[in-house]
Chain A
Amino acid sequence: MFGRPSGGGLARGIAMGYLSLIVLLPLGAVAARSVDGGLAGFWRAVSGREAVAALELTVIVSLVVALVGAFSGTLIAWVLVRDEFPGKRLISALIDLPFALPTIVAGLTLLALYGPRSPLHVDVSFTRVGIAIALLFVTLPFVVRSVQPVLMALDPEVEEAAASLGARSSQVFRRIVLPSISPAILSGAALAFARAVGEFGSIVLISGNRPFRTEVASVFIYGQIQSDNVSGAAAVSIVLLAVSLLILVGIGYLGRRAAKDADEE
């Protein structure tokens, strides 16, 4: 089955068929149905005021979340690698909780503490801040998990040497640590951005989904499906997919270039 040097025919064929039936065929349908009304129909669907507002909000909030996540993720990774304190291993394991926790539970969780019945009297429900917090929650692991191993592989002796030669700690970080971890920060932030752009479950309860105010693209698409405008929904889906793929490819390129620059130095 797998033994021939070609890598096995039948099993591979079945796996390809499975991939095509489950993933490719449905995605083909989205692409095809997005131009049901021709290119003009596609353009009408994605340039409608509500669609544009939803796409804009999605991209801007996701960028903010990726940026904040890059800072907080790097900070958390640094503390987990270079600091020692009791309970560190438990905290390190907890970083993956947002991956394991269903998104709707994440949304409900944040709403319980920071929603209308908040015991702290902090209510961010139905606001853009609420959306950003939900996205920061679900994207937390990306930057931490991408920076942590790189930091571990860095030799602390170099940093100590710089410090003993009189470099301030901010200088040590900027000149020595940051250049080595910046590709990892970038790729983690890119993954966080791509995830944030499509996120639905954690946002749906907290955002209130008010058009032009707190309606993100995925919720807009959901609404279009509910009102039976599937080709409009498909058109906006294509734009959303293009945005996240563009960012992933673009930042992948930047990351590779940064890694190459670091090698050449």
Chain B
Amino acid sequence: MRTRNRLALRTLALGYLAVLLVVPVGFVFYRTFEHGASAAWHAVTTPSATHAFWLTIELVAIAVPLNTIFGVVMAIALVRGRFRGRSIVGPLVDLPLALSPVVIGLALILVWGTKGWFGQWLTDHGLQIIFSFPGLLLATIFVSLPFVVRETVPVLREIGTEQEEAAETLGAGPFQTFWRVTLPAIRWGVAYGVILTTARALGEFGAVSVVSGHLAGSTETLTLQVEDRYEAFDLTGAYAAAAVLALIAIAVLASMTLLRRRRGDVAWASS
């Protein structure tokens, strides 16, 4: 292709990315520090901001390990298992990706809310799920459920069963085979899935917004705080909370890139 065309296409593509992605994200950091670093620091260290931060971390710390264990078990069942209905379980696992976050929030309310299926029973036992921590947790787990499964399944397919069978022939029990043979072989796939799960869990907004009730200092996560502050005309606060989340997102992006390269190396070395 001629150089002139090539340059024109390059300019077009990079211009599009700049206008849509790079300049807006950069500008949020500018807005955050517009009134000085101390104002930004002050905005992210108010009691409600630190509460929102730790609440988000707590949700991630519970949701991610649960979904990781589920993801590995489910991936092994989908690839190695032979059971009835296997062909519909795969699409079911992917379902959270095709759903609007608002619909997910609604679904949780319809089961766990005061007027939901279990509402009466929960009220009788003095339990509250919606508008409190368990509701936020259920929403976070729901939206971040598919990622470990999706990243582990192709790796499991690729490694095949030869080594696992060899280990068993040599007398290894199922547990030993899993820990010594299967898990080391799939670890980069699982790790990539864990990063995607974490990113989604940290950043969820819609589903959490429906089940939260938006109580600052109680059920307000970091993402909800961005909206609440914006709606309350606290722009510096909104930009500061957004900048914290954007920094985390950039860290996630960096680890995604590193892991992809790592995974590439592994594939390259074993071929």
Contacts and interface: CB of A to CB of B under 8 A. Distances in A.
A244 B107 CA distance: 17
A200 B226 contact: no
Contact of A2 (B138, B178, B227): B178
Interface in B179-197: 182, 196
Given A105-B226, A108-B28, A169-B2, A237 B103 contact: yes
Nearest to A205: B230
Contact of B145 (A23, A218, A230): A23
A140 B13 CA distance: 12
A163 interface: yes
A113 B103 CA distance: 30
A11 B12 CA distance: 51
Interface stretch (A24-32, A39-47, A181-189, A254-262): A24-32
Interface residues of A, number: 83
Contact of B142 (A8, A23, A75, A218): A23
B152 to A, nearest CB: 12
A53 interface: no
Interface string A117-152: 001000000000000010011001000000000000
A7 B223 contact: no
B43 interface: no
Contacts of B246: 101, 105, 109
Contacts of A163: 1
B98 A245 contact: yes
A97 interface: yes
Contact of B108 (A26, A105, A109): A26
A144 B58 CA distance: 34
B98 A248 contact: yes
B9 A225 contact: no
A79 B10 contact: yes
Interface in A1-31: 1-8, 11-12, 14-16, 18-19, 22-27, 29-30
Given A169-B1, A205-B230, A2 B105 contact: no
Nearest to B103: A237
B101 A105 contact: no
Contacts of B111: 25-26, 29
Contacts of A215: none
B126 interface: no
B44 interface: no
Contacts of B125: none
B151 interface: no
Interface in B93-125: 93, 95-96, 98-111, 115-117
A72 interface: yes
A22 B81 contact: no
Contacts of A33: 110
B252 interface: yes
B35 interface: no
A237 to B, nearest CB: 4
A62 to B, nearest CB: 12
Contact of B83 (A7, A19, A30, A233): A7
15 contacts: A2-B174, A7-B80, A22-B142, A75-B12, A79-B9, A85-B10, A100-B199, A105-B223, A108-B28, A112-B31, A113-B27, A140-B20, A169-B5, A198-B100, A218-B100
Given A102-B202, A104-B227, 13 more contacts: A3-B173, A19-B89, A19-B93, A22-B138, A26-B111, A27-B99, A75-B16, A104-B203, A104-B223, A110-B24, A198-B99, A218-B206, A225-B105
Q: Which 8 A-B pairs have the closest CB atoms?
A: A7-B81, A3-B174, A198-B100, A102-B203, A26-B107, A201-B205, A29-B110, A200-B206
Interface of B: 1-2, 5-6, 9-10, 12-14, 16-17, 20-25, 27-28, 31, 66, 70, 73-74, 76-77, 80-83, 89, 92-93, 95-96, 98-111, 115-117, 138, 141-142, 145, 168, 173-175, 177-178, 182, 196, 199, 202-206, 209-210, 222-224, 226-227, 230, 238-239, 242, 245-246, 249-250, 252-254, 256-257
Interface of A: 1-8, 11-12, 14-16, 18-19, 22-27, 29-30, 33, 72, 75-76, 78-80, 82-83, 85, 91, 93-94, 96-105, 108-110, 112-114, 119, 133, 136-137, 140, 163, 169, 172, 194, 197-201, 204-205, 217-219, 221-222, 225, 230, 233-234, 237, 240-241, 244-245, 248
